[in-house]
Chain A
Amino acid sequence: MTGRRANKQAGLLLDEPVIFERSRPGRRGFALPGGGEDPAAFLPADLLREPIDGFPEVSEPEVLRHFIRLSQWNLGTATTFYPLGSCTMKYNPVVNEAVARLNGFAGLHPLAPDEDAQGALQLIWELEQMLAEISGMDAVSLQPAAGAQGELTGMKMIRAYHVEHGRARSKVLIPASAHGTNPASAALCGYSTVQVEGNRIGLTEAAAVQRAMDDDVAALMITNPNTLGLFEREIMQVADAVHARGGLVYLDGANLNALMGVAKPAHMGADVLQFNLHKTFSTPHGGGGPGAGPVGVRESLAAYLPTPRLVRAGEQLRWSDDCPRSIGRVRSFYGNFGMLVRAFAYILALGGDGLMQATAMAVLSANYIRRRLEGAYHLAYPGVCMHECVFSDKGFDTVGVKTLDIAKRLLDHGFYAPTIYFPLVVPGAIMIEPTETESKETLDEFIEAMLDIAQEARETPDVVRNAPTQTPVGRLDEARAARHPVLRWMPGTKS
């Protein structure tokens, strides 16, 4: 008996066991033509295993139904508003899914001769130039697989630069509001991190950076707009302070969606930045990847970009491994090409004006939410925001309602939750990023839900504390899951 009948669940809340529990000996979902060869004719028998114990034995219709049911337990941007701050959950254009699947792209082997892959190379070439234009940087590599790998690549380049100029240096300055990937990426390059505190209005001051700077600082890693959704007004003076002591500026491009047509990272003084194609350039987040994290650099750092580099030789484009000062490769082949196709299609679709309009609407939408909610929720830093705004649960402590409760209650209202408890500098943070692809009506519905929850928190706090109740499962015991981790299904487990 399946879990569904056993639990007596019905209607649309379909319970679905793990695929292994649907297995029945002898059932199959795939067959090859021919077959029947004896592997021992080709390989010594002592190298061979038996068919894998526990592997699924299910028919194709069962596979389809299983995963369709799982999909229905998910919220995505295609289902509902997904105001996950710092993640830029904008609409993923469907045409991008179609073009990435064209056989000329999807069926192309990465070691095909350059002459027979000119379409792919042309796309990569043009996308590099588009990103250079958007950011003002001089050179771009599309190789890194994700934003965090872009950061790692950038920091490796900064290290290589310093090594070539005498010594690697030992420290990296990072504002307190930074993403956790920043210090982790710096540490992977052997750097210790020094935190720079923001001022009372959430900004990094040039004077503070200047005080922290010395000849051992390799770089400052800074996000602009920062994770509070605020533009770092002193960014140019900050960069000057870093450069004055021979340091470099790593600009985390996670929030580039706030900058197109507004300010270019190169002009701010950035020496290196990464682009998160899955944020600004609409490639799907995929339930957690694949992303793509190209890096852009100033001319003085171009020689350190990952190998190989795309070069033009007459009419043809080709890959060049002749990059003696490069940091080397950060992954196999050339990057998450399928995601590059999608980002390229997105930039073509919007064009320069459309990208600038996207930023404008993203910022306008965030400010609309800020204005309409600032009476009901504590705004961490007052004033105009960029593409996202950060509230907190301050003031709800008297009724015993926390940020987590507010987030969970939003699920009952049919919305995904904002990013919570980040940035760390705001206790109980609620970070809302609407993006430019939500209509005013959707924003209003979300705002109404947030206002309702604020009222519920004061009048019927248990409703908020016990949320969610309208989801396939309720709050899960994460502490117990971590204390007694069950990380896989084991063969022999009974259904």
Chain B
Amino acid sequence: MRFLPHTDADIRSLLRAVGVAEVADLFTEIPAELRARAAVRLPPGASEPEVRGRLERLAGRNAAAAQPCFAGAGAYPHFVPAVVDQILQRAEFYSAYTPYQPEVSQGTLQAIFEFQSLVAMLLGMEVANASMYDGASAMAEAVLMAWRINAKRPRVLLSRALHPQYREVVRTYTTGAGAIELVEIPVAADGRTDAERLAAQLTDQVAAVVVGHPNFFGIVEDLEHIGTLAHARGALLVTATSEPIALGLLKPPGSYGADIAVAEGQSLGIPMSYGGPGVGLFATRTSYVRMMPGRLVGEAVDGAGRRGYVLTLATREQHIRREKATSNICTNHGLMALAVTVYLSTVGKAGLRELAVANTANAHRVAGRLTASGRWCLPFSAPFFNEFVLHGTHAAAAWETARSRGVLAGVPLRRWYPELADGLLVCATETHDAAAVDRLVEALE
């Protein structure tokens, strides 16, 4: 086996040193009835060319990966500069573990410190953690954190215009976790969260209001208004972003007084990879930092006065606090956080804004082309970023036709929104050139 270095002579030598005749003698503590049935019946091992061949054949059966993809809905096709993956392939990064020994983990630690700084700036928040698994579980952790902060209040209001899977994860996480009641706030006719219905539900029993920024339909919510409503009743404002490129252009959650802001970071330098791994971004106010889940890196100095970084404020965490921890999360998505850090460093201040503008412009251009014939319309009137709902009574058949023509023409909304059964959620990014857009328009004719 090419990953195992032990020769027969090595094994004999190790056995002799241990003082046993054969490896089986090391397992005598294990009940014989367990040992007798333990054989792993899988095919014999395979050489590298065989493994590679098998995986290439499987990859080749994913036709969608080679086609124009106008689907967003929480996973976005974006260009990734080559420098990002070059760094990700540094084995010094990927083969390290959680930086328990800071003296020989300064690379990971400084990169996370830079990540925390970038995320805080992107979200306009005071402090960000070292990352979560993904946007959905980050939102669930944000709900739990808000509920801990507003301890006596049992209700959390979730906008129906949040990503449906994020809402499902919140339901899973909160079931049995305590007396948390989730209330769904409907979508108004313009595609934003219905502020009137929200106001009616906002009582002193509400711990937090959670809305998307932009929301699942790509629409920019009226966060100013929602934040004011929530804070007037003592509820926290929590925002969730699944397309963080938008924050290169839109005012960030922090500028609306968000108390906790979470996001999915996949758009920032991470391939879609059939939905994972991405990375959860999680930020809050400094005053809540000790209520925060997840790891945190802080600046420190050594005995010689040199600057360095360490894991800090660990008394919130499971390995210290056990059942009283702020979360059960252990490690995070460190390598994906590194991808985000390299990506944002490369794209930079001007590039991020240009990307965000290009996405907006392209999505609006595509929306304009699709609606020009009159066969499609945009049911929602509120401003949108890089994805939009496209409505047409023939949507299901048209989407299927496009599929047969090799174009992923967005995501049908029927499975999540019966009231939008004739809707497609269509996304356009900087990756969609004129030829791809032509194919989409033709495919949906």
Q: Write the nearest CB–CB distance from A487 to chain B, whole angstroms.
A: 5
Contact at B137–A74, with CB atoms within 8 Å? no
Q: Does B107 contact A (CB under 8 A)?
A: yes
Q: In the complex, A422 Cα to B20 Cα: how many Å?
A: 29
A63 engages B83 (CB within 8 Å): yes
Report the Cα distance A486→B296, complex, angstroms. 10
Q: List 5 A-B contacts (CB under 8 A).
A: A152-B173, A329-B136, A354-B1, A356-B40, A476-B308
**In the complex, chain A residues whose CB is within 8 Å of the CB of B200:** none
Contact at A71–B273, with CB atoms within 8 Å? no
**Interchain CB contact (< 8 A) of B87 among A67, A109, A133, A306:** A67
* Residues of chain A with a CB closer than 8 A to B69's CB: 109, 112
Question: How would residues 131 to 158 of chain A score, 1 for a CB under 8 Å from any chain B CB and 0 otherwise?
Answer: 0011010000000011111011000100
The yes or no answer to A399 lying at the interface (CB within 8 A) is no
Which residues of chain A are within 8 angstroms of B370 by Cβ–Cβ distance?
Answer: none
Name the A residues within 8 Å of B51 (CB-CB): 95, 99, 345, 348-349
Choose from B71, B108, B271, B328 the contact partner of A184 (Cβ within 8 Å): B328
Question: Which A residues are CB-close (under 8 A) to B112?
Answer: 287
Interface size classification for chain A:
35 or more
Q: Are B352 and A52 in contact (CB under 8 A)?
A: yes
What residues on B are CB-neighbors of A344 within 8 Å? 55
Most buried by A among B6, B127, B131: B6
Chain B CB within 8 A of A485 CB: yes
- Name the residue on B nearest A66 (C-beta): B345
**Inside 8 A of B330's CB, which chain A residues have their CB?**
146-148, 179-181
Interface residues of A in 73-99 (CB under 8 A from B): 73-79, 82, 84, 87, 89-93, 95, 97-99
Q: Which residues does chain B contribute within 8 Å of A375, judged by CB atoms?
A: none
Interface pair B64/A76, CB less than 8 Å apart? no
CA of A189 to CA of B180 in the docked complex: distance in angstroms? 12
Expressed in whole angstroms, the Cα–Cα distance for A339 and B57 within the complex equals: 18
Does chain A have a CB within 8 A of B111? yes
| Most chain B CB atoms below 10 A, which of A181, A188, A259, A334 | A188
Among listed A25-33, A204-212, A451-459, interface-contacting one: A25-33
Q: Are B117 and A488 in contact (CB-based, < 8 A)? A: yes
Does the CB pair A91–B342 fall under 8 Å? no
> Does B263 sit at the interface, judged by CB under 8 A?
no
Q: Which residues of the other chain, B, contact A43 by a CB distance below 8 angstroms?
A: 220, 249-250, 360, 383, 385
A355 touching B334, Cβ below 8 Å = no
Minimal beta-carbon separation of A284 from chain B (angstroms):
4
The answer to whether A332 touches B136, judged by C-beta atoms less than 8 angstroms apart, is yes
Given the interface contacts A74-B104, A104-B59, does A485 sit within 8 Å of B48 by beta carbon? no
How far is the CB of A379 from the nearest CB of chain B, in Å? Answer: 14
Interface size class of B (residues with CB under 8 A): 35 or more
Report the minimum CB–CB distance from A484 to chain B (whole Å).
Answer: 9
| In contact, B110 and A70 (Cβ under 8 angstroms) | yes
Q: Are B176 and A190 touching (Cβ within 8 A)?
A: yes
Check if A120 sits within 8 Å of B94, measured CB to CB: no
Does the CB pair A54–B121 fall under 8 Å?
yes
Choice from A34, A92, A119, A145 contacting B91 with Cβ under 8 Å: A92
Task: Check if B43 is an interface residue, CB within 8 A of chain A.
Answer: yes
B432 → A minimal CB distance (Å): 12
Residues of B within 8 A of A474 (CB): 103, 302-304, 306
Taking the nearest CB of chain A, how far is it from the CB of B109, in angstroms? Answer: 9
Contact assessment for B40 and A261 in the assembled complex, using a CB-CB cutoff below 8 Å:
yes
Q: Are A78 and B95 in contact, with the CB atoms below 8 A?
A: yes
Instruction: Say whether, besides A64-B87, A74-B105, A332-B136, A488 and B313 are in contact (CB < 8 Å).
Output: no
Bound-state Cα–Cα, A173 to B166, Å: 31
The answer, yes or no, to whether A314 is at the interface (CB within 8 Å) is: no
- When C-beta atoms are compared, the residue in chain A nearest to B95 turns out to be A76
Q: Which 9 A-B pairs have the closest CB atoms?
A: A333-B275, A104-B59, A110-B275, A286-B335, A119-B61, A78-B91, A288-B334, A112-B64, A76-B95
Residues in B neighbouring A290, C-beta threshold 8 A: 133, 276-277, 279, 333-336
Q: Beyond A57-B349, A181-B318, is A75–B58 a contact (Cβ under 8 Å)?
A: no
A42 contacts B383, C-beta separation under 8 Å: yes
Q: Decide: A190 and B18 in contact? CB cutoff 8 A.
A: no
For A20, what are the chain B residues with a Cβ–Cβ distance below 8 Å?
114, 117
A122 to B351 alpha-carbon distance, docked (Å): 39
A 254-273 to B, binary, CB cutoff 8 A, 1 in contact else 0? 00000111111001100000
In whole angstroms, how far apart are the Cα atoms of A187 and B178 in the complex?
10
Interface membership of B34, Cβ < 8 A = yes
CB of A397 closer than 8 Å to a CB of B? no
A12 located at the interface, meaning its Cβ lies under 8 Å from any Cβ of chain B in the complex? no
> Within the complex, which residue of A334, A384, A422 is in contact with B319, where a contact is CB–CB below 8 Å?
A422
With both beta carbons as reference points, the residue of chain B lying nearest to A74 in the complex is identified as B107
- CB contact list, A44-82 vs B, under 8 A: 44, 47-49, 51-58, 60, 63-64, 66-68, 70-79, 82
Assess whether A331 is in contact with B133, with CB atoms less than 8 Å apart.
yes
CA distance A179 to B325 in the complex (A): 13
- Which residue of B is nearest A371, CB measured? B18
Inter-chain contact A268/B327, CB cutoff 8 Å: no
Measured between beta carbons, the chain B residues less than 8 angstroms from A186 are 323
- Whether the Cβ atoms of B62 and A112 lie closer than 8 Å is yes
Tell me, yes or no, whether A101 is within 8 Å of chain B by CB: yes
Contact B42 A473 (CB under 8 A): no
Please report the C-alpha to C-alpha distance between residue A325 and residue B29 in the assembled complex, in whole angstroms: 39
Which of A7, A192, A355, A475 has most B Cβ within 10 Å? A475
How many Å from the CB of A413 to the closest CB on chain B? 11
CA gap between A347 and B177 in the complex, in Å: 36
